[in-house]
Amino acid sequence: MFQIPDNVSKFDNVFDVLKERGFIEQTTDDEGIRELLGREKVKFYIGFDATADCLHVGHFMQVIIMMYMQKYGHTPIVLIGGGTTMLGDPSGRTDARPMMTAEQIDENGRQFKKLFDRFLEFDDEWKHIQGEGVLGKGGQNKEPDPGKAICVNNADWLRGLNYLEFM
């Protein structure tokens, strides 16, 4: 697994490191974010729709940010969009996203996870627990180990709602 070196920056707050490296252009409250990230370890997520079996450079920028956040003790949540991939692309494109089977999407999600494993350290014992019934609140089998990433797939809770057929 690739790792960011310990001496990557003179700063000890990930906000300052990300700012220094050009990942932050503007925020609504620089000081509030800096204080939060210095005071506590946060969980944050970035979502990836599984429209192909590989990632592109735009995705890689997000992976690098997750790597830095993890380096400084925060918990990345990789959200694979196995459910949202079935709906379409909200990016303002004029062409439609090709329809994919659930099997194709699931395979793409598995390929994504293999790529993420090369850059993030996951808590492999952590599991998402599906809630009871269609609208039942889900959960987890345990808190993620500090500073380790977790991976969830929104197909786990969206496909059972039948809203995909409705849409």
- Residue 100 covered by a domain: yes
- Residue 152 covered by a domain: yes
Same structural domain, 28 and 53? no
Average pLDDT over residues 28-34: 96
Q: Domain with 67 in it: what CATH number?
A: 3.40.50.620
Whole-prediction pTM: 0.88
At 53, which amino acid appears? D
Q: What angle do CA 141, 129, 126 make, to 5 degrees?
A: 40
Percent of the chain with pLDDT over 70: 87
Look at the chain and report how many structural domains it folds into: 2
Which pLDDT value is given to residue 48?
Answer: 95
Which pLDDT value is given to residue 99?
Answer: 78
Please list, residue by residue across 87-121, b when 16 or more beta carbons sit within 10 angstroms of its beta carbon and e when fewer do. eeeeeeeeeeeeebeeebbbebbeebbebbeebbb
Same structural domain, 115 and 153? yes
Same structural domain, 30 and 104? no
Range(s) of the domain holding residue 78: 42-166
Tens-digit pLDDT profile for residues 64-106: 999 999 999 999 999 999 988 887 655 656 566 677 899 999 9
